């Protein structure tokens, strides 16, 4: 069992809290998911195309269910969200040397997918709310002539999708959405991942559905859907998919599209299917925790919280804030002191990649990238921590208390 929060004696303060729960601990897989996974393992038919006559593969069932959930025509299961982004870029027509606009605040699989296509990234600044700077997007769209925009809804922050859509339409830009942190989230009444040509979702352990690793790609385009299925590694077994375009669409591409072997397995699909019916309820639970933390931290000296649009129906599975009015040296001291008190805060200010965290200057495989002074300054002072559902509301209160105590202790 996870350890509870304890009071620790300290010469300076008898009320000095130390948090002793893991920020990486997830809730267990539902019992029906474990049972179904065991049934699949007992058959030995883990490969999605290894089915008997009249049987529909677990992965095919999941694809139909997820397409129905977000309201798209098609969905394909892949090995990861990163592989889904790569396949999406290939399927919408990205060629070596093409320019791809992309917000600079994201995680390494996003630029990794761009690099895999041999395209050239045009990174876009972010604003103080960690969103794509749409003025900068508009300027760079016009100046670069880029015809693709890979929008990463990083850490669940959703930019004004109405304006994004207008910009893309005006410049003839194809949008691909990275929704690794926004499964179940909406802008207005429309799910993220359904604004662009393609939406890519993650089921990696720390995301909103946990299958260890996995990706889901959605689209409404017949040609894109057929290409994705072929790229994913369907061989000539694409007819076994449920959420697929007409078979004649595959005829145009089946000898032109390489097999990248990036399929999802039936075992992974079983884990996802057991969690999908509970997704909306889980999103509400995350937001209960997020809103509590937000309410308690708002107004804390030296801490600035992002402002969110009323149209942004986010999922608060992580929390970000900015340290203001203090030098970078104090930010480092703040993060280190929080760590000593059991609060695991990620920092995007480090020029050296650490764990899952990296920033645009460290992606040296692109060579020299365009300067992004605004983003660099914002990342220097941005703090980020997970809000797992294994934390109770009382745990969240303790976390905010410790953060406030540390702020008072280390800031000028």
**In the chain, domain spans:** 31-275, 279-410
| β partners of residue 198 | 176, 219
Question: For position 262, what pLDDT does the model report?
Answer: 98
Compute φ and ψ for 313, nearest 5 degrees. -95, 80
Architecture of the domain whose range is 31-275: 3-Layer(aba) Sandwich (3.40)
CATH number of this structure's domain 279-410, picked from the four choices 3.40.630.30, 3.30.1490.390, 3.90.1150.10, 3.40.50.720? 3.90.1150.10
- Domains 31-275 and 279-410 are alike in CATH topology: no
Question: For position 354, what pLDDT does the model report?
Answer: 86
Tens place of pLDDT per residue across the chain (412 aa): 444 443 333 434 447 899 999 999 999 999 999 999 999 999 999 999 999 999 999 999 999 999 999 999 999 999 999 999 999 999 999 999 999 999 999 999 999 999 999 999 999 999 999 999 999 999 999 999 999 999 999 999 999 999 999 999 999 999 999 999 999 999 999 999 999 999 999 999 999 999 999 999 999 999 999 999 999 999 999 999 999 999 999 999 999 999 999 999 999 999 999 999 999 999 999 999 999 999 999 999 999 999 999 999 999 999 999 999 999 999 999 999 999 999 999 998 888 888 888 888 889 899 977 889 999 999 999 999 999 999 999 999 999 999 999 999 999 8
In degrees, to the nearest 5, what angle opens at C-alpha 346 toward C-alphas 341 and 351? 125
From first CA to last CA, the distance across the chain in angstroms is: 39
Question: For position 9, what pLDDT does the model report?
Answer: 34
What is this structure's pTM? 0.94
Contacts of 398 (CB under 8 A, 6+ apart): 5, 17, 19
Question: For position 351, what pLDDT does the model report?
Answer: 82
Kind of pairing, strands 174-178 and 198-202? Answer: parallel
Angstrom CA distances, 188 to 80, 108, 161, 241, stand at 27, 29, 9, 31
Measured in residues, the chain has a length of: 412
In degrees, to the nearest 5, what angle opens at C-alpha 108 toward C-alphas 19 and 182? 65
Question: For position 356, what pLDDT does the model report?
Answer: 85
Question: For position 7, what pLDDT does the model report?
Answer: 34
How far, in Å, CA of 409 to CA of 411, rounded? 6
Q: How far is CA 185 from the centre of its chain?
A: 11
The pair of three-digit structure tokens given for residue 224, joined into one six-digit string: 């894109």
What is the torsion angle, in degrees rounded to the nearest 10, for the CA atoms of residue 226, residue 230, residue 234 and residue 235? Answer: 120
Question: For position 353, what pLDDT does the model report?
Answer: 83
How far, in Å, CA of 106 to CA of 208, rounded? 17
């Amino acid at each position: 069992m996870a350890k509870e929060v304890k009071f620790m004696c300290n010469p300076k303060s008898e009320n000095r809290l130390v948090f002793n729960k893991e920020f990486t601990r997830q809730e267990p897989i539902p019992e029906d998911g474990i049972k179904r996974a065991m049934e699949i393992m007992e058959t030995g038919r883990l490969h999605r195309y290894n089915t008997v006559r009249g049987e529909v593969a677990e992965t095919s069932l999941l694809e139909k269910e997820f397409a129905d959930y977000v309201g798209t025509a098609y969905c394909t299961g892949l090995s990861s969200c990163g592989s889904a982004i790569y396949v999406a870029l290939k399927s919408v027509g990205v060629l070596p040397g093409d320019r791809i606009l992309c917000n600079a605040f994201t995680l390494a699989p996003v630029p990794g997918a761009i690099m895999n296509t041999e395209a050239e990234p045009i990174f876009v600044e972010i604003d103080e709310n960690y969103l794509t700077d749409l003025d900068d997007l508009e300027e760079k769209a016009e100046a670069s002539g880029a015809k693709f925009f890979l929008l990463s809804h990083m850490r669940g922050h959703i930019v004004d999708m109405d304006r994004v859509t207008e910009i893309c339409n005006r410049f003839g830009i194809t949008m691909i959405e990275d929704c690794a942190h926004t499964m179940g989230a909406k802008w207005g009444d429309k799910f993220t991942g359904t604004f662009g040509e393609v939406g890519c979702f993650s089921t990696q352990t720390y995301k909103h559905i946990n299958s260890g690793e996995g990706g889901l790609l959605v689209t409404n385009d017949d040609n894109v859907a057929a290409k994705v299925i072929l790229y994913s590694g369907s061989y000539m077994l694409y007819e076994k998919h449920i959420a697929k375009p007409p078979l004649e669409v595959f005829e145009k591409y089946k000898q032109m599209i390489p097999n990248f072997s990036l399929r999802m397995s039936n075992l992974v699909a079983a884990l996802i299917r057991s969690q999908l019916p509970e997704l909306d309820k889980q999103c509400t639970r995350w937001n209960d925790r997020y809103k509590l933390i937000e309410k308690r931290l708002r107004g804390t000296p030296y801490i600035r919280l992002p402002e969110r649009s009323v149209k942004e129906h986010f999922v608060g599975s992580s929390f970000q804030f900015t340290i203001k009015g203090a030098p970078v040296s104090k930010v480092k001291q703040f993060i280190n002191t929080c760590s000593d008190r059991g609060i695991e805060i990620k920092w995007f200010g480090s020029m050296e990649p650490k764990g899952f965290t990296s920033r645009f200057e460290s992606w040296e495989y692109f060579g020299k990238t365009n300067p992004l002074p605004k983003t660099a300054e914002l990342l220097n002072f941005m703090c980020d921590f997970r809000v797992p559902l294994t934390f109770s509301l009382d745990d969240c209160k303790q976390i905010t208390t410790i953060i406030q105590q540390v702020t008072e202790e280390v800031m000028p």
